[in-house]
Amino acid sequence: MKQRQVIIDTERCVGCGLCSRVCVARNIAISGQKAGTIGESCIFCGQCSAVCPQKAISMVGRGDGQVEKEGDVRLCPDDVLNAIRFRRSVRTFQQREIPREVLAQILEAGRLTHTAKNAQDLSFAVLDREKDRVEGMAVRLFRAVRPIAGWFSPLARNSRIDEHFFFFRAPTVIVILANDPTNGVLAAQNMEFVAEANGLGVLYSGFFTMAARASRKIKQVIGVPKGKRVAMTLVLGYPGVKYLRSTPHRALDVRYL
């Protein structure tokens, strides 16, 4: 038996063709009023199984079971837009731990993130006891390269690289790993939304991500497996600052062609 398989229960199947219509890999066809797989191009996205009104299609060999959708899951557009408008990068944190169940929910948002070609290539490293050591390694690296970077960047020239330059004394840091960093950045965004919904503040640490990518030692401590890259780093905690209004943004730059 193959490791991963789409199994179609022909007793249940009524040949409605919905599964075939949503199959991006064109791997399902209806013949004699029954669905059947026709090739090897399946990316195991599970859409056929998610759309089947007869529950005739099951996916074997990839992860957890499926959750039934109860009613319509739809967010209020104004609320979503305001969440985007009023989220801020937080760099001041309360010295308060993030509860385990909240952390689990944030990681779940990362795990459920959609990925190119359904690669599901995301992994997460939660920095806890190694947080200060890893930050120290990144600080030393940045201090060492600053004289050169300062030639090209006023930001590098003028910034003070103190001991908390990367993580701002936040209680939790999550390093997101992926084969394709685009997938990791998408996960970061989903995780940020769930973190914010839990009252947390988040910072994307592009600087730490750069340091980790450049340092074999940091990658070793984090445990970056072969083939994976450090995609993004999220710094999280309860905010120690409250923003009262949105910030200025450039006018919309769009062309309709």
Report the residue from 50, 181, 207, 213 that binds ligand FMN according to the rule CB under 6 A. 207
Query: Minimum Å distance from CB 165 to ligand FMN?
Result: 8
Q: What does the alpha-carbon distance between residue 13 and residue 184 come to, in Å, rounded to a whole number?
A: 37
Residue pair 19/51 in contact (Cβ under 8 Å)? The answer is yes
Query: Minimum Å distance from CB 218 to ligand FMN?
Result: 15
Q: Which C-beta is closer to ligand FMN: that of 50 or that of 161?
A: 161
- Give Cα 101 distance to the centre of its chain: 18
Q: Is 124 in the site for ligand FMN (CB under 6 A)?
A: no
Residue pair 111/191 in contact (Cβ under 8 Å)? The answer is no
Q: Is 169 in the site for ligand FMN (CB under 6 A)?
A: no
Query: Minimum Å distance from CB 89 to ligand FMN?
Result: 3
Q: Is 204 in the site for ligand FMN (CB under 6 A)?
A: yes
Query: Minimum Å distance from CB 91 to ligand FMN?
Result: 6
Given CA atoms 115, 120, 121, 123 in this order, what sign does their dihedral have? positive
Touching ligand FMN, residues 51-110 (CB under 6 A): 88-89, 91
Q: Which C-beta is closer to ligand FMN: that of 99 or that of 206?
A: 206
Q: What does the alpha-carbon distance between residue 149 and residue 66 come to, in Å, rounded to a whole number?
A: 49
Query: Minimum Å distance from CB 217 to ligand FMN?
Result: 19
Query: Minimum Å distance from CB 145 to ligand FMN?
Result: 15
Total number of residues binding ligand FMN (CB under 6 A)? 9
Which helix (H) or strand (E) element contains residue 6? strand 5-8
Q: What does the alpha-carbon distance between residue 177 and residue 183 come to, in Å, rounded to a whole number?
A: 9
- Give Cα 194 distance to the centre of its chain: 11
Q: Is 158 in the site for ligand FMN (CB under 6 A)?
A: no
**To 5 degrees, how large is the angle CA 134–CA 137–CA 142?**
125
Q: Which C-beta is closer to ligand FMN: that of 171 or that of 201?
A: 201
**Token output for 191:** 């995780």
Residues engaged in binding ligand FMN (CB under 6 A)? 88-89, 91, 203-207, 247
